[in-house]
Amino acid sequence: MLTLYVVDPDDERDAFPPPSAMTLAAFLRDRPPWTPRLDRTVLMFDMLPPVFNDDINSFGYLSHIVLQLEEVRARLTAGKYALLCTNGGEQLFLLLEPAEGGTEVSVLGTFPEPYNGYYAASRSPNYFEGVDQAQALYGYVDDNLASIRQKYRDTHTIRTQGILIPTVDLITAIDTQIALGTEVFNLVARRPPGTAL
């Protein structure tokens, strides 16, 4: 459905997914000899082929993904559309919107400044004084969705648009990844330097 992966920091092979990629559940269950870099987290939609998932990665910091997933869950549960963005380099935005039969996932691409530095989260990891980033992003998308979609279609050969996912299954997967992501973050980021996992 929707799964987060951690990667061996020494795995620099040009392949997707990286050969060392482990789901968060597998990482917690079968600890590898390496400690993941939490800024190289990969998010994959299980029903999409690797080429589509490669198009939307790298997602980046685990803690940033988890806080966004919390917002996505809240908005989808309330019947609203939600935004999710990558943070492993140039930010790429995804749209998750209620549709007949479930939730549709679409890639919106990159946004112009200043929106490209914002997170659609009430607790954004990026600080901009006096800016409600979530409100600004949702306002931008509300006002420009048709042109945002068209720009992405015009500039990308791989077009991940309107992928239908059952909402209940998606929210269950999000809840699972939030719990696992929090556990992995607490294990890796909060351990004393030099100690083994």
pLDDT tens, residue by residue, 131-158: 888 899 999 999 999 999 888 888 776 6
Average pLDDT over residues 60-79: 92
Domain assignment present for 101: yes
pTM score: 0.88
According to the model, what pLDDT value does residue 132 have?
A: 85
Whether the upstream peptide bond of residue 192 has omega within 30° of 0, thus cis, is no
pLDDT of residue 191: 63
Residue 168 lies in a domain: yes
- 196 found inside a domain: no
**Which residues span the domain enclosing 154?**
2-189
Task: Determine, yes or no, domain membership for 197.
Answer: no
Residue 88 domain flag: yes
Q: Is 60 exceeded by the pLDDT of residue 171?
A: yes
Choose between 119 and 36: higher pLDDT.
36
Residue 16: per-residue pLDDT: 76
Which of 187, 147, 165 shows the shortest CA–CA distance to 105?
Answer: 165
Looking at the structure of the chain, the number of domains it has is 1
Per-residue pLDDT, 195: 53
Give me the mean pLDDT over the 50-68 stretch. Answer: 78
pLDDT greater than 70 at residue 88: no
Whether 133 maps to a domain, the answer reads: yes
Contact 103, 94 (CB under 8 A): no
Confidence band for 56, pLDDT divided at 50, 70 and 90: low
Angstrom distance (rounded) from CA 86 to CA 69 = 12
User: What's the full length of the chain, in residues?
Assistant: 197
190 pLDDT higher than 80 = no
Q: Taking 60 as the threshold, does the pLDDT of residue 8 lie above it?
A: yes
Q: Is residue 22 part of a domain?
A: yes
Whether 145 is covered by a domain: the verdict is: yes
Stretch 36-40: mean pLDDT, rounded?
Answer: 88
Mean of pLDDT values over 68-93 = 89
pLDDT over 80 (residue 176): yes
| Side-by-side strand order, sheet with 42-45 | 22-23, 2-6, 42-45
End-to-end CA distance of the chain: 28
Mean of pLDDT over the chain? 86
Q: CB–CB of 123/68 below 8 Å?
A: no
What the block records as the tokens of 42 is: 């990969």
